[in-house]
Amino acid sequence: MNRLILTATAMLAATQVYAGVRIETVTRDIKTQAIDGGAQVMLVQDGRIRMNNVTHGSGMILKDSVLYVLDDKRKTYSEIDKATMKQAADKAGEAMKQMQEQLKNMPPEQRAQMEKMMGANMPGMSGKKDTYEVKDTGKSDTSEGRKCRVWNLLKNGVVSEELCVVPFSSLPGKEDFEKSFKELAEAAIGMAGNLPGAGDSIKARNSINGFPVRVRQYDDTGKPRGTESVLTKWLEESLPGSTFEIPAGYTKKALPKFGG
C-alpha cells in the first residue's frame, strides 16, 4: 500500500511539473479570414515562457527574469538580463537625444520631413511624447467561441487598437497567467527603457488586467486597418524541460550597440 501511495504521488508530481499550455495566434484579414503567414506559438509552464514566430524564423525564451532572443535562421541567441536592459536602454536614450539635437539644427522643412519619416518607428523623435490610455467600451463580443470584453487602446486620444479581453481566471490550465504575462510585459518595457514613450503603450495594455483573445489594429487617424490577431488555440500540453532551454548548436551573439 505504501509503495502504491508513493508511486501515485510521484506520478502526480510529474504531471504537475510537465503540465504546460500551448497558445496559438494568427493574423488574418477580417473580411476574407485569409491568414497572413504562419501561427505564432507561445508555450507557458511554471512561470517560463517561450514564443516562436515560424514566419520570421525567430523566437524568445523568458525564464528567471532573463530574456533570450533566438534567431533560428542563423542559429544564434542573445541574452538580456535586467542590467543589460538598463544599459542598452540608457545608450538608446542618449542616442535619441543626440538625434533630436541634430533635428533642431535642420531647416524647418527638412526637419518636418525627417520627423514624419521616423516618428512612427521611433517614439519621441519629434520631442513630443505620445500619450496612451485604455477605455472600456462597455461592449462584449465573441471571438472563436470565447466571450470577451471590448477595450480600446487610445494613442493621443485616437483609437490605436481594439482589444477583446477575457479574465485570466477564465483561461484553461493551472498556470498563474497574470503573473507570467506581466513579467513578459515588464521585460518588453525594460527593453524599451529610456526611449521616450516606447513602453507606455505596453503599460496601458497591461492595465486592462486580462488576456486579449483578439486585437484589431487602427491607423493614426483611427481608421481600421482591416486585420486582426486572433487566439485560435489554447491547449494544455505536456512540455519537456528542454522547451525552455537554448537549442543545441546555437551560439551566443552580442547585442547590437547604440550610439553614433
The set of residues, in sequence order, having a beta carbon less than 8 Å from that of 1 and lying 6+ positions away, is none
In a domain, 138, yes or no: yes
Half-sphere exposure of residue 136: CA atoms within 13 angstroms, side-chain side: 10
In a domain, 13, yes or no: yes
In a domain, 260, yes or no: no
In a domain, 252, yes or no: no
Q: Which domain holds residue 15?
A: 2-245
The set of residues, in sequence order, having a beta carbon less than 8 Å from that of 101 and lying 6+ positions away, is none
pTM score over 0.85: no
Indicate the helix (H) or strand (E) that contains 154: strand 146-155
pLDDT digits (tens, 9 = 90+) for 41-87: 999 998 899 999 866 778 999 998 888 999 998 999 999 887 776 67
In a domain, 27, yes or no: yes
The dihedral region occupied by 195, where left means phi > 0, alpha psi between -120 and 50, and beta the remainder, is beta
Domain total for the chain?
1
In a domain, 256, yes or no: no
In a domain, 102, yes or no: yes
pLDDT digits (tens, 9 = 90+) for 10-38: 333 333 444 789 999 999 999 999 998 88
Sheet with 224-238: list strands edge to edge. Answer: 132-143, 146-155, 158-166, 211-218, 224-238, 19-29, 40-45, 48-53, 58-63, 66-71, 76-80, 251-252
In a domain, 251, yes or no: no
Instruction: Output the domain CATH number for residue 171.
Output: 2.50.20.10
